[in-house]
Structure 1
Amino acid sequence: MARRRGWGGNPPHSDEEAGRRIIAAAVELVAETGGAVSLAEVAGSLGVIRQTVYRYFPTAEALMRAVAIASVDEFLDRLTDHVRGIHDPAEALTTGAVYTLDAVAHSPHLGVVLSPSSAHNREMASEEARAFGMRMIERFDVDWKQHGYDEASLRELVEFSLRIMLSFIVAPNDPARSPDELHRFLLRWLGDAVAAQRPRPTQ
């Protein structure tokens, strides 16, 4: 009976449903607080004991990772709209990087994992992060093949860009530098990185 009093009186019918509802509750709490939340806080919002949440997510860190993953598709949709129509690779990459850094700074769903206080910032160039980066860059209206990129070189560009963004997360941009100034700064140096793969003229 005690279990039925939890979950708002409507207990989940499967482990998959329970996991989804825990993540949804955590997403709501993160949006309200603007930061990481504990397993106890999520359990309290669902009306269950902490051990119930612990069964599905052994640590708050694991739950926060799930929260970020749940937010990825929505972020990528917004990013796609933001970079639509930009065909120049350097401009697209720079615009995407600036937009992502702003999202990390202002969106708790992404910031929880990628903020300097999170252990996950050390993993921004991990395989998981690179896969996320590839999903980002594939949303751009850029013909990467035309600019000399195959899959291997595109993955290297993604890794390089992630490492640049990580540096701004660990040491945030100077508030005195405007978004336009940051854009110009990144365009100058990321632009050179993009051009490094410029096709060589045929003999």
Structure 2
Amino acid sequence: MAGRRGWGGSPPNDDEEASRRIVAAAVDLIGRTGAEISIADVAESLGVIRQTVYRYFPSSDALMRAAAFASVDNFLDRLTQHVSGMKDPAEAMTEAVVFTLTEVRRIPHLGILLSSTYSNVHTESLTSEEAQTFGMTMIRRFDVDWHSCGYDDESLHELVEYVLRTMQSFFLSPGNPPRSQEDLRRYLRRWMGTAIIAQVDQPR
């Protein structure tokens, strides 16, 4: 009977549906609060006990990351549109970083995915398989011909790690006062952009 009272009176049909509904509830809560949420918060919103949520997600951090990945598709679509037509790797990546740093202020899910500022993940998560997958998905949507620019799979993965580390530094310490978009764009183009272009001149 308790199960009927939970889940809004409509229990999930299987574990897959239960997991999906838990993540959806977490996404909704994060979107409404703009902050980190707990297992207890999600359980309360679903009308179930915490142990029910723990069955599918062993920690709040695991649930937060699942919610983050469920929320980034729309961001990636808008980022792709923003950098559409940019074939220069330094220009495209600079614009991607500026766009991401701007959007993370509006979309807490994105910050949860990329920055320990929004969750209790260790900094090692920056180079986790999940973060690398997100980064590779992001840059492969660009109109840049990475192969012609001297990038193979190994160097692309290294570039993703480098850019994630760069964004992490701005998440943790945006500056006082933070740079304007134009100042940030100029800074990234000068330093990060130079490093990205250097790969073009490397022996193939």
Q: Is the TM-score greater than 0.5? A: yes
Contact 1:43 1:53 in 2 (8 A): yes
Q: Which residue of 2 aligns with 1:49?
A: 49
Change (3 A) 1:196 1:3: same
Q: Which residue of 1 aligns with 2:107?
A: 107
Q: Which residue of 1 aligns with 2:172?
A: 170
Q: 4+ residue stretches of structure 1 with deviation over 4 A?
A: none
Q: Which residue of 2 aligns with 1:143?
A: 145
Distance (whole Å) between structure 2 residues aligned to residue 4 and residue 97 of structure 1: 46
Name the count of aligned residue pairs.
Answer: 202
Deviation, 1:176, is: 4.7
Change (3 A) 1:18 1:200: closer
Q: Secondary structure of the equivalent of 2:199?
A: coil
Name the TM-score, length of structure 1 as normaliser: 0.92
Distance (whole Å) between structure 2 residues aligned to residue 115 and residue 97 of structure 1: 17
Structure 1 residues without counterparts, runs of 5 or longer: none
Change (3 A) 1:91 1:121: farther
Distance (whole Å) between structure 1 residues aligned to residue 68 and residue 178 of structure 2: 29
* 1:65-80 alignment, distance < 5 Å: 65-80=65-80
Q: Which residue of 2 aligns with 1:62?
A: 62
- Worse-matched range after superposition: 116-125 or 158-167: 116-125
Distance (whole Å) between structure 2 residues aligned to residue 44 and residue 147 of structure 1: 51
Name the TM-score, length of structure 2 as normaliser: 0.92
* 1:24-39 alignment, distance < 5 Å: 24-39=24-39
Change (3 A) 1:163 1:66: same
Q: Which residue of 2 aligns with 1:186?
A: 188
Name the Cα RMSD after superposition.
1.7
- Worse-matched range after superposition: 84-93 or 123-132: 123-132
- Tell me the amino acid that sits aligned with residue 170 of structure 1: L
Structure 2 residues without counterparts, runs of 5 or longer: none
Distance (whole Å) between structure 1 residues aligned to residue 110 and residue 203 of structure 2: 42
Contact 2:36 2:119 in 1 (8 A): no
Contact 1:104 1:115 in 2 (8 A): no
Percent of pairs with identical residues: 59
